[in-house]
Chain A
Amino acid sequence: MGKWKNYIIWIEKTMSYVGKGQAGNPVLVASDININGASSVSFDNVFSSDFNWYEVYFYELQSDSSTGDTYLRMNLRAGGSDLTSSNYDAAWQRHSFDTSSSVFDNAAYTTTLELTPPSRLDNDGGSSATAIMRIDPNTPNVVFFYIDYLHMDSGGGNNDWGGRGAIGYDNSGTAVDGFKIYLTTSSTPNEDFNGGAIYIFGYK
Chain B
Amino acid sequence: MADKTKAEFLQQLKDDNIKIFDNVNGARIEITGSEFDTRLNDKAQGLYDSQEYDKIVTSGGQHSDYLNMRGNAVNSNSKINSFVNFLDSFMSAIQAGKFGTDAQSWDAYTEWKAIQDKYTQP
Expressed in whole angstroms, the Cα–Cα distance for A160 and B76 within the complex equals 11
| B residues near A68, Cβ cutoff 8 Å | 53-54, 57, 72
| B residues near A156, Cβ cutoff 8 Å | 57, 72, 76
User: B22: which of A40, A99, A185 is its contact (CB, 8 Å)?
Assistant: A40
User: A31: which of B20, B26, B50, B83 is its contact (CB, 8 Å)?
Assistant: B26
Q: Mark A176-190, 1 if CB is under 8 A from B, else 0.
A: 000000001110111
User: B28: which of A38, A184, A188, A190 is its contact (CB, 8 Å)?
Assistant: A38
CB distance from B65 to the nearest CB of A (A): 6
Known contacts A65-B50, A99-B81: A35-B42 contact under CB 8 Å: no
Q: Is the CB of A42 within 8 A of B24?
A: yes
Q: Tell me, yes or no, whether B49 is within 8 Å of chain A by CB.
A: yes
Expressed in whole angstroms, the Cα–Cα distance for A189 and B40 within the complex equals 10
Question: Which residues of A in the span 162-201 have a Cβ within 8 Å of any Cβ on B?
Answer: 184-186, 188-192
Q: Tell me, yes or no, whether B23 is within 8 Å of chain A by CB.
A: yes
Interface size class of A (residues with CB under 8 A): 35 or more
Q: Tell me, yes or no, whether B7 is within 8 Å of chain A by CB.
A: no
Q: How many residues of B contact A (CB 8 A)?
A: 30
Q: Is the CB of B49 within 8 A of A69?
A: yes
Q: Is the CB of A69 within 8 A of B53?
A: yes
Q: Tell me, yes or no, whether B98 is within 8 Å of chain A by CB.
A: no
Known contacts A37-B21, A39-B31, A69-B65: A30-B43 contact under CB 8 Å: no
Q: Tell me, yes or no, whether B68 is within 8 Å of chain A by CB.
A: yes
User: A190: which of B24, B43, B54, B85 is its contact (CB, 8 Å)?
Assistant: B43
User: A99: which of B23, B45, B65, B82 is its contact (CB, 8 Å)?
Assistant: B82
| A residues near B43, Cβ cutoff 8 Å | 190-191
Q: Tell me, yes or no, whether A70 is within 8 Å of chain B by CB.
A: yes
CB distance from B42 to the nearest CB of A (A): 4
Q: Is the CB of A191 within 8 A of B46?
A: yes
Q: Tell me, yes or no, whether A41 is within 8 Å of chain B by CB.
A: yes
Q: Is the CB of B22 within 8 A of A38?
A: yes
Q: Is the CB of A100 within 8 A of B22?
A: no
Question: Which residues of A in the span 22-79 have a Cβ within 8 Å of any Cβ on B?
Answer: 30-32, 34-35, 37-46, 65-70
Expressed in whole angstroms, the Cα–Cα distance for A159 and B83 within the complex equals 16
| B residues near A43, Cβ cutoff 8 Å | 24-25
| B residues near A118, Cβ cutoff 8 Å | 68
Q: Tell me, yes or no, whether B32 is within 8 Å of chain A by CB.
A: no
Q: Is the CB of B23 within 8 A of A41?
A: yes
CB distance from A4 to the nearest CB of B (A): 47
Q: Is the CB of A30 within 8 A of B76?
A: no
Q: Mark B44-66, 1 if CB is under 8 A from A, else 0.
A: 01100111011001000000010
Chain B residues within CB distance 8 Å of chain A: 20-26, 28, 31, 39, 42-43, 45-46, 49-51, 53-54, 57, 65, 68, 72, 75-76, 81-85
